[in-house]
């Protein structure tokens, strides 16, 4: 799916304010309900902190200080006796006198304090403290709130990032007219709303929109705008009364966005080579406000009636079926869509104007359609088949019928996200929806996964994705799954769409499902969906629904330990005879800037042993709630393996004896553990090596068994871990170690690599394994691999591309071809002409894998321009170039030099920006690079310096550096 701006621009105070502890102030006035409902918890704590002179915390930033000071001055009562203030002004003396030493010290103290406060305020742009907003000393009336300035210089009547709860929208009537020649649009928005409690203001969102006219109850009104928070407001001299129904109408113009959010323009070349244009929406949170003024927070649900005016050669789509089409005097057509049958959040609204075609099918009472550009209609059948089957499956699984009469899946040529789950109109990248009939099962699986994710909007997250989430969650810069209290800026909202929110969130649901007896999770989920259908919920609502049907302890008590604190536990096992002691602690790779806490989780520890280890019936469970607990096993048990099938979100350390017993068991019989359990052992021991709990010799000792491994999950995990180390050594220019690591990998896995055939495989799992093995083999220059790849490429080109390359082999074949001049040029020609989207993306990755510096520079510039290569592919190109030795420094320089252009294309904090930062920095491991990365991002100020992904990057470089310092000597001895 798919930002704080500085709030306050200050001038000097005309009067010195009292600084008080609001929590102890008995004269504290009652707040307007607007201020109460969305007051951040952190702000309440900080206000009290100021009163107690606790404002010396190094973590306090200028913006927090401004909010602190503002709230202290805004919310206190000034009805205090003069003696209550240490800053009362005295009448001028009648004669001069020499102050006492005590008075002099006191005066200096006061001067320093006031000067310090003034300096803090001076350096905080964004809002002006005016006379109207200053406290009036010795007055019996409550002081006035401090507000920022609107664009026209007047005070803006609201001072929070979150909207007030005083007004609730009921229905939007939207009329939009896009002009695909001038790339602009006009809009007419009618918002029917109800007043929740008395208020003199209506505040909503608007961004990059020029409002021409506004009327309230048919009377023209003035609209104020505060751009830093993307808010507009209308003020009234008298209260709007609770329960009142009213109408706000807004006429406006705007440009179609040239980035990938809001109402934006896209383009593609048709089969004749002519450029065609279209307009589409991407309304992940905070982007709907770029298309129409609205209450753009998920809680403000409403119904929507949409009208789109278009030229006859285009079609228009929206969330609901078309109700009617009217021909206007200008010859344009106006499509009116049915009003939504459910209340929707603004980010789920969608509309498209394009020259698309479709195929359709009825599923129960829903018409399912797949739309694409005309040239790719033949590539839509698989998506239609998959969506139809999945819709029927979900209707049955959740015991809930899909609530709309139509479901459109639309492939958009230029689309940032993989897909977006708009109600009734799901939008996709072409590569996430379109696939030709002869595509490989692996390519088709990708399409099925994306469609399934968007239909359910809950991902089925598997082993590799859980490992990726753990890698991010092991950093100090991670965040809890539930973070609403910590999110205060638009950029922070964007950064929440990461692997913690998605992959960890889904992993926790998987853990809960595997913990509960069969069927209870599904029953609880059905109860939750029925009870809260069409409503807003909080996390505990789901846990409570599941608790109602579960026959064990409160699910909420357990799950809150996983969602309200960042990170995950490390469970350490120690054993004496039949007594096994389990100890939990926070698995945290870095201790830099760490606040030590006694984090505890309710861990559903599952385990098997040597007497019964592979079947689900072998699994036993023990709940670890405290720091330490013990369980009893038979003394005859040789070894324990915890976290059966890796369904739990934790890492296990078995101690030297425990690891040795498991390693011996695997060397004796690989099948003694399931493939998932073998993969989790590999993942755990590499993670513990990074933490410094096991030596790298133990890691290599475990990997000795893999010469007998044939299953996909453990092999791909081992290859991934070794490849990461190989790339670190390569970028560190440890030439001898790089050669030894290459020899180690090929020695262990070379025979398996050589045994792979290059024909068509039907099994998805075998395709995944073959792809991983051969891509690594060819990248390491294994002769057998590169020869086969070159031969397959020649057959493909000599047959005019009719001799198809199996889909799982295309990337490795194209990458080998791209290392030669003729191959790279022929691939570039093919990229420009091919209409096969999955093939096109693999060709682009191959082009970006070149080790020719000139071509690296060219492709980076080309994708940023967005001509022959859509700019949406920039993160992919940067990631691919970063993996190569020749390109990793080029691409870092490119990102630094092009940063301003990059954030014009992708919002600060968005997933593409996160990906770009991670790709370009995650393989640095030296102090020089650490200082360079830190210096660059520090210089960005509001253009990205405060992003969490920057902190992750710095933390990762430090960890790489420490790992190298600890393990280089061992690697030299053992490789």
Q: What is the CATH number of the domain that holds 517?
A: 1.10.390.10
Is the predicted pLDDT of residue 320 greater than 50, yes or no? yes
Last residue of a domain, one of 520, 544, 564: 564
- Look at residue 475 and give its three-state secondary structure: coil
Strands (DSSP E) contained in 99-244 are 167-179, 184-195, 199-205, 210-216, 219-220, 224-226, 231-240
Residue 769's H or E segment, with its range, is helix 764-779
Please state the separation of Cα 131 from the chain's center in Å.
Answer: 42
- Two tokens, residue 34: 């607007």
Q: What pLDDT is stored for residue 553 in this prediction?
A: 67
pLDDT in tens, 807-840: 899 999 999 999 999 999 999 999 998 888 888 9
Return d(Cα 602, Cα 604) in angstroms, integer.
Answer: 7
Which one from 336, 421, 454, 527 is the annotated catalytic residue?
A: 454
The answer as to whether 437 is a domain residue is no
The answer as to whether 6 is a domain residue is no
Burial of 618 by CB count in 10 Å (0-12 exposed, 13-18 middle, 19+ buried)?
middle
Average pLDDT over residues 119-144: 43
pLDDT in tens, 524-538: 988 888 888 877 888
> What domain range includes position 869?
850-974
Q: How many residues does the chain have?
A: 975
pLDDT in tens, 178-216: 999 999 999 999 999 999 999 999 999 999 999 999 999
Annotated binding-site positions for Zn(2+): 453, 457
Give me the phi and psi of 764, to 5 degrees please.
-65, -45
Q: What pLDDT is stored for residue 594 in this prediction?
A: 57
Residues in CB range of 766: below 8 A, 6 or more apart: 712
∠ CA 239-242-245, nearest 5°, is 95
Q: Which residue has the higher pLDDT, 450 or 271?
A: 271
Is the predicted pLDDT of residue 593 greater than 90, yes or no? no
The answer as to whether 863 is a domain residue is yes
∠ CA 784-786-788, nearest 5°, is 70
288: which DSSP letter? G
Q: Which residue has the higher pLDDT, 393 or 36?
A: 393
Q: What pLDDT is stored for residue 595 in this prediction?
A: 56
For the chain, give the percent of residues with pLDDT over 90.
56
Q: What pLDDT is stored for residue 552 in this prediction?
A: 63
How many other CB atoms are found less than 10 A from the CB of residue 48?
15
pTM of the predicted model over 0.85: no
Number of domains in the chain: 2
Is the predicted pLDDT of residue 666 greater than 70, yes or no? yes
Is the predicted pLDDT of residue 106 greater than 80, yes or no? no
CATH code, domain with 866: 1.25.50.20
Q: What pLDDT is stored for residue 70 in this prediction?
A: 27
User: Binning pLDDT at 50, 70 and 90, where does residue 421 land?
Assistant: confident
- Look at residue 624 and give its three-state secondary structure: strand
Q: What pLDDT is stored for residue 550 in this prediction?
A: 79
Residues in CB range of 432: below 8 A, 6 or more apart: 411, 418, 419, 446, 447, 450
Burial of 59 by CB count in 10 Å (0-12 exposed, 13-18 middle, 19+ buried)?
exposed
Query: Is 717 one of the catalytic residues?
Result: no
Q: What pLDDT is stored for residue 131 in this prediction?
A: 38
Annotated binding-site positions: 453, 457
The answer as to whether 893 is a domain residue is yes
The answer as to whether 529 is a domain residue is yes
Is the predicted pLDDT of residue 41 greater than 70, yes or no? no
User: Binning pLDDT at 50, 70 and 90, where does residue 18 land?
Assistant: very low
Return d(Cα 582, Cα 588) in angstroms, integer.
Answer: 18
- Two tokens, residue 494: 């964007």
User: Binning pLDDT at 50, 70 and 90, where does residue 452 land?
Assistant: low
Angle between helices 927-938 and 948-974 (to 10 degrees): 170
User: Binning pLDDT at 50, 70 and 90, where does residue 49 land?
Assistant: very low
Pick from 166, 486, 185, 424: which is nearest to 295 by CA?
A: 166
Q: Which residue has the higher pLDDT, 725 or 454?
A: 725
Return d(Cα 278, Cα 849) in angstroms, integer.
Answer: 32
Q: Looking up tokens 């933490």, which residue turns up?
A: 691
DSSP 102-142: HHHHHHHHHHHHHHHHHHHHHT--S----GGGS--TT-SSP
Pick from 474, 468, 561, 558: which is nearest to 513 by CA?
A: 558
Last residue of a domain, one of 548, 564, 580: 564
Q: What pLDDT is stored for residue 264 in this prediction?
A: 86
Task: Assess contact for 278 and 265: CB atoms under 8 A.
Answer: yes
Task: Assess contact for 722 and 685: CB atoms under 8 A.
Answer: no
Q: What pLDDT is stored for residue 459 in this prediction?
A: 76
- Two tokens, residue 88: 């009362």
pLDDT in tens, 918-927: 999 999 999 9
Task: Assess contact for 843 and 814: CB atoms under 8 A.
Answer: yes
Task: Assess contact for 262 and 171: CB atoms under 8 A.
Answer: no
The answer as to whether 505 is a domain residue is yes
Last residue of a domain, one of 538, 564, 590: 564
Task: Assess contact for 823 and 797: CB atoms under 8 A.
Answer: no
For the chain, give the percent of residues with pLDDT over 70.
79
Q: What pLDDT is stored for residue 110 in this prediction?
A: 45
Return the C-alpha torsion angle 945, 950, 954, 959, nearest 10. Answer: 160
Q: Which residue has the higher pLDDT, 952 or 592?
A: 952
- Look at residue 148 and give its three-state secondary structure: coil
The sheet carrying 322-327 orders its strands as: 219-220, 210-216, 245-255, 184-195, 167-179, 303-310, 333-337, 322-327
Task: Assess contact for 14 and 146: CB atoms under 8 A.
Answer: no
Is the predicted pLDDT of residue 285 greater than 90, yes or no? no
- Look at residue 181 and give its three-state secondary structure: coil
Give me the phi and psi of 618, to 5 degrees please.
-75, -20
The answer as to whether 476 is a domain residue is yes
The answer as to whether 38 is a domain residue is no
Average pLDDT, the chain: 82
Q: What pLDDT is stored for residue 630 in this prediction?
A: 96
Average pLDDT over residues 237-261: 92
Sign of dihedral through CA atoms 115, 119, 122, 127?
Answer: negative
């Amino acid at each position: 799916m798919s930002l704080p701006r500085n709030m306050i621009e200050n001038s000097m105070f005309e009067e010195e304010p009292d600084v008080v502890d609001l929590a102890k102030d008995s004269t504290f006035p009652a707040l307007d309900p607007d201020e109460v409902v969305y007051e951040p918890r952190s702000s309440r704590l900080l206000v009290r902190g100021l009163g107690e002179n606790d404002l010396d915390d190094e973590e306090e930033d200028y913006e927090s200080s401004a909010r602190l000071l503002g709230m202290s001055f805004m919310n206190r009562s000034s009805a205090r006796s003069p003696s209550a203030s240490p800053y009362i002004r005295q009448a001028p003396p009648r004669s001069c006198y020499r102050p006492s030493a005590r008075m002099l010290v006191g005066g200096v103290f006061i001067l320093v304090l006031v000067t310090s406060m003034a300096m803090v305020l001076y350096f905080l742009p964004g809002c002006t403290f005016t006379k109207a907003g200053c406290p009036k000393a010795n007055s019996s009336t409550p002081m006035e709130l401090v507000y920022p300035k609107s664009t026209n210089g007047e005070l803006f009547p609201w001072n929070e990032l979150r909207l007030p709860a005083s007004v609730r929208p009921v229905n939007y009537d939207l009329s939009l007219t896009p002009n695909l020649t001038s790339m602009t649009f006009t809009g007419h928005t009618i918002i029917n709303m109800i007043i929740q409690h008395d208020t003199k203001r209506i505040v909503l969102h608007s961004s990059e929109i020029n409002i021409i006219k506004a009327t309230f109850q048919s009377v023209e009104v003035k609209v104020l705008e505060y751009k830093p928070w993307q808010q507009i407001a209308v003020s009234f001299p008298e209260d709007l009364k609770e329960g009142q129904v009213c109408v706000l109408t807004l006429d406006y113009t705007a440009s179609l966005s040239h980035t990938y959010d809001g109402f934006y323009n896209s383009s593609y070349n048709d089969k004749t080579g002519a450029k065609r244009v279209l307009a589409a929406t991407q309304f992940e949170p905070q982007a709907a406000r770029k298309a129409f003024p609205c209450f753009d927070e998920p809680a403000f649900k409403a119904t929507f009636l949409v009208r789109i005016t278009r030229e006859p050669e285009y079609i228009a789509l929206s969330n609901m079926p078309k109700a009617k089409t009217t021909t206007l005097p200008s010859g344009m057509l106006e499509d009116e869509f049915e009003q939504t049958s459910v209340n929707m959040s603004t980010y789920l609204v969608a509309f498209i104007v394009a020259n698309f075609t479709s195929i359709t099918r009825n599923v129960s009472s829903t018409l399912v359609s797949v739309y694409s550009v005309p040239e790719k209609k033949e590539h839509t059948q698989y998506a239609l088949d998959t969506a139809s089957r999945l819709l029927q499956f979900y209707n049955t699984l959740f015991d809930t019928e899909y609530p709309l009469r139509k479901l459109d899946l639309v492939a958009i040529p230029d689309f940032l996200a993989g897909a977006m789950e708009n109600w009734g109109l799901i939008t996709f990248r072409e590569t996430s929806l379109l696939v030709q009939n002869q595509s490989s099962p692996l390519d088709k699986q990708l399409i099925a996964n994306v469609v399934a994710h968007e239909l359910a909007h809950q991902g089925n997250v598997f082993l590799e994705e859980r490992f990726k989430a753990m890698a991010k969650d092991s950093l100090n810069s991670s965040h809890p799954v539930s973070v609403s209290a910590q999110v205060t800026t638009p950029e922070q909202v964007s950064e929440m769409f990461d692997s913690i929110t998605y992959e960890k969130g889904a992993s926790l649901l998987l853990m809960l499902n595997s913990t509960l007896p069969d069927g209870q999770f599904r029953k609880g989920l059905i109860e939750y969906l029925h009870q809260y259908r069409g409503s807003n919920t909080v996390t505990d609502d789901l846990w409570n629904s599941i608790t109602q049907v579960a026959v064990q302890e409160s699910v909420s008590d357990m799950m809150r330990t996983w969602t309200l604190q960042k990170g995950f536990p490390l469970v350490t096992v120690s054993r004496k005879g039949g007594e096994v002691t389990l100890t939990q602690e926070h698995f945290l790779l870095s201790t830099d800037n760490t606040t030590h806490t006694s984090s505890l989780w309710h861990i559903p520890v599952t385990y098997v042993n040597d007497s019964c280890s592979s079947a689900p019936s072998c699994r036993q469970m023990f709940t670890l709630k405290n720091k330490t607990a013990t369980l009893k096993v038979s003394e005859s048990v040789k070894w324990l393996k915890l976290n059966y099938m890796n369904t739990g979100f934790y890492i296990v350390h078995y101690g030297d004896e425990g690891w040795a017993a498991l390693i011996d068991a695997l060397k004796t019989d690989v099948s003694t553990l399931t493939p998932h359990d073998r993969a989790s052992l590999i993942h755990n021991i590499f993670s513990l090596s990074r933490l410094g709990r096991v030596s790298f010799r133990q890691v290599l000792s475990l990997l000795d068994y893999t010469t007998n491994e044939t299953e996909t999950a453990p092999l791909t995990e081992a290859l991934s871990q070794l490849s990461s180390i190989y790339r670190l050594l390569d970028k560190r220019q440890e030439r001898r170690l790089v050669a030894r690591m290459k020899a180690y990998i090929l020695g262990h896995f070379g025979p398996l690599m050589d045994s792979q055939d290059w024909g068509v495989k039907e099994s998805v799992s075998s395709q995944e394994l073959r792809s991983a093995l051969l891509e690594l083999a060819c990248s390491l220059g294994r002769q057998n691999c590169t020869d086969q790849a070159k031969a397959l490429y020649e057959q493909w080109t000599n047959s005019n591309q009719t001799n198809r390359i199996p889909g799982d082999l295309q990337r490795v074949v194209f990458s080998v071809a791209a290392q030669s001049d003729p191959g790279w040029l022929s691939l570039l020609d093919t990229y420009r002409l091919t209409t096969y989207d999955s093939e096109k993306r693999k060709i682009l990755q191959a082009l970006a894998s070149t080790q020719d510096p000139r071509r690296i520079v060219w492709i980076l510039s080309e994708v940023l321009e967005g001509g022959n290569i859509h700019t949406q592919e920039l993160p992919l190109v940067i990631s691919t170039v970063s993996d190569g030795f020749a390109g990793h420094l080029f691409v870092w320089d490119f990102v630094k030099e092009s940063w301003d252009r990059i954030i014009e294309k992708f919002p600060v904090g968005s997933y593409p920006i996160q990906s770009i930062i991670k790709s370009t920095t995650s393989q640095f491991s030296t102090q020089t690079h650490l200082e360079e990365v830190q210096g660059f991002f520090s210089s960005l100020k509001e253009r990205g310096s405060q992003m969490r992904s920057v902190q992750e990057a710095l933390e990762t470089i430090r960890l790489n550096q420490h790992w190298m310092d600890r393990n280089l000597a061992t690697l030299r001895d053992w490789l």
